[in-house]
Amino acid sequence: MLQQFLAAARQRLVEHIDPTLLLITLAIMATGLTTVYSATYDANNRLLAQALNMAVGICAMWAVAQLPPQKLMRFGVPLYVIGVVLLVLVFFFGIKVNGARRWLSLGFTRIQPSELLKIAVPLMLAWYFHKNEALLRFRHFVVAGVLLLVPFALIARQPDLGTAILVGAAGFYVIFFAGLPWRVIGGMLALAAGAAPFAWTMLHDYQRKRILTLIDPTTDPLGSGYHIIQSTIAIGSGGRFGKGWLEGTQTHLEFIPERHTDFILAVFSEERGLLGNSILLVLYLLLIGRGLVIAAKASTLFARVLAGSVSLSLFTYVFVNMGMVSGVLPVVGVPLPFMSYGGTAVVTLSVGIGILMGIHTHRMLVRT
């Protein structure tokens, strides 16, 4: 009896876990932990905190993976409504830190509602398109655009351009996979190009300075150009094979700013070199590719567009962070998935992986 119970419990534990996604995610997490340790060797409490963050993320991943798409769909509308309401409350009652109003105080802790929208927006839009799948018309894409624009504008107003980009990208991917016509995409690109001068005037001074610094970081080497200059020095000094773990001079002499969060790739590149970066990039490509395969095999519109959005959102995280650290894109607050220190991002990304697992494993159960 005991053996049967243990066997059943073991089966229940791994029943909805996709081994490929899990192994790749754990490999990146392990790499992230070693890099966080190197970046914060003088503050070991951060390593323990990050390990705890990852443990919570894995638990969240497992819990979400148990939900079939039909149940997951029910969370779309309430999560979206709660998220937008919280964003409005941030606008009036939020805590202001370093010029940005992004947090709400609950007395015992602070929350950042914009993180909730990274999951709520694609869930809401996927539910909306699934509901109207039989009679999908152009007006439905317009409504979806409005549903996306509301949280995007509220987050950008905080200001938090990095999170706004991630939320906007996640929502756009759902709309794209739902069948947005290419002529509409072309029109949107033309409209964006025409509106660029107006958008420039809407940016904050520090945001405009980041874009100008991207063109020539040496114009302000000790100010807005400092991040890019130091990170590119660290990446270049790593060479082909890196200086070795815990041997990065740019890291340990504290030249790299935000070295355990947004710029952790600079730390990794200095210590592991081109070879390490290539392996890390392959792991990310495998993770994203597995997600897109799951999206292509999904049995419903909701599951297909949601899995596609989660997968390409991971791509956006990786592309924007790597571009930012290497000096190709402006500096925005986008972490490197499962590498950068931080609890909220790890849990949010883990939930995304759990969604992919649930979509894949429950589809397999339905088919058999």
CB contact set of 46 (below 8 Å; sequence gap of 6+): 36, 40, 260, 341
Residue 303: HSE in the Cβ half-sphere, 13 Å Cα cutoff: 24
Tell me which residue of 112, 117, 107 sits closest to 94, measured CA to CA.
112
User: pLDDT of 327-346, one tens digit each?
Assistant: 888 888 899 999 999 888 89
Which pLDDT score is estimated for 240?
A: 92
Does a structural domain hold residue 12? no
Per-residue confidence at 367, pLDDT binned at 50, 70, 90?
A: very low
Residue 3 included in any domain: no
Domain contains 4 = no
**9 within some domain:** no
CA dihedral 126, 129, 134, 138 (to 10 degrees): -150
Higher pLDDT, 150 or 219: 150
Query: Would 225 be classed as within a structural domain?
Result: yes
Q: Where are the beta strands (DSSP E) in the chain?
A: 95-97, 100-105, 110-111
* Model confidence pLDDT, tens digit, residues 157-210: 888 888 999 999 999 999 999 988 888 888 878 887 787 777 777 777 766 776
The average pLDDT across 268-282 equals 96
Provide the domain limits for residue 222: 17-367
pLDDT for position 4 = 61
What's the number of domains the chain is made of? 1
Residue 283 — pLDDT band, cuts 50, 70, 90? very high
Q: Record the tokens describing residue 359, joined without a space.
A: 């979509």
Q: What is the pLDDT of residues 208-238, one digit of tens each?
A: 776 776 666 767 777 777 888 899 999 999 9
- Residue 341 belongs to a domain: yes
What is the average per-residue pLDDT within 261-276?
94
pTM: 0.90
Distance of CA 137 to CAs 26, 57, 134, 181, 308, Å?
Answer: 42, 38, 9, 11, 21
Domain assignment present for residue 342? The answer is yes
pLDDT score for 10: 62
The whole-number average pLDDT for the span 30-52 is: 89
Contact 319, 337 (CB under 8 A): no
- Average pLDDT rounded to a whole number, residues 129-155: 92
pLDDT at 3 over 70: no
Distinct helix (H) and strand (E) counts, the chain = 15, 3
**pLDDT score, position 12:** 64
Residues 51-94: tens digit of each pLDDT: 999 999 999 999 999 999 999 999 999 999 999 999 999 988 88
Does 223 fall in a domain? yes
The pLDDT score that the predictor gives to residue 368 is: 41
